[in-house]
Amino acid sequence: MAIKELSNTEHKALKISPDAAAIYASTQHLLNLRATEVAKMTCDLPVFFARNAQNGSYTLSALTSFNANQNLLVNNTKWQALYTPVCMQSYPLYLLTREANSSDYFVAIDEQSSVVNTTQGEALFDGNANPSLFLSAQQKLLEGDLKNDYLTYQFTQELARLGLIKNIDIVLQFGQGETQTIQGLSTVDEDKLQTLDNDTIVSLQKQGYLNVLNSMLISLFQLNALVKLHNLHPELKPLKQIKLELSRDAHAL
């Protein structure tokens, strides 16, 4: 990636491919989500907690494949799910700060992305080098996502404090008897959730957290749908079944 601050002179001729979202997602086996997106995503994909490699905090991710660099929900550069996460909608644009903990935000672009060109798609600037309607909408999307990123951080911090996150292994059993284990993901500790006192439950409900927790638990059933999608690909080893187990290790996916 080559992330650079967006400029109305240097980047005035750039356009974003109409298939940018799906092209980006096609190589993402984990899609970053905000807490506000979880309920929308669970119609199609299982949602897990994952560790941020940089600071160790928890993030939320939708699992799109059992193989790295693959997304079973992208078919012929078309996204097949009902909901499109913001991380897909905003690509290849980002909202960054010049210094840590600064509120001086600016829009940046991945100049090396294959979805950036000068011939086809949504223009970033108009003929007068002013932000296009598309770019203005993308900036609003990114600003809203910044707020939701902080809300997600608060959500995961509270769950970690309450001990409601448990590390799991996803054990894949293939048709020929081989097994493979996916590590590094976590889910809601349902048993612990059921033992919380009433005041804590009411607090989670008021903050909107309980709905997210329940949505994440329901989303685990989408693992079966992911197995079906996997088995539609003849080039992949057919999966017989899948199991969730308490993690014995903490390696990343």
- Position 142 scores a pLDDT of 97
For residues 184 and 168, the answer to whether their CB atoms sit within 8 Å is no
For residues 176 and 237, the answer to whether their CB atoms sit within 8 Å is yes
Per residue in 93-147, pLDDT tens? Answer: 999 988 776 778 999 999 999 999 999 999 999 999 999 999 999 999 999 999 9
Distances (CA, A) of 162 to 8, 49, 127, 195, 210: 47, 15, 54, 11, 13
Which of 53-57, 65-69, 107-111, 142-146 has the lowest average pLDDT?
Answer: 53-57
Per residue in 154-194, pLDDT tens? Answer: 999 999 999 999 999 999 999 888 999 999 999 999 999 99
On the CB side of 55, CA atoms within 13 Å amount to 5
pTM of structure:
0.93
Percent of the chain with pLDDT over 70: 98
Query: Given a cut of 70, is residue 250 above it in pLDDT?
Result: no
Q: Where are the domains of the chain?
A: 3-246
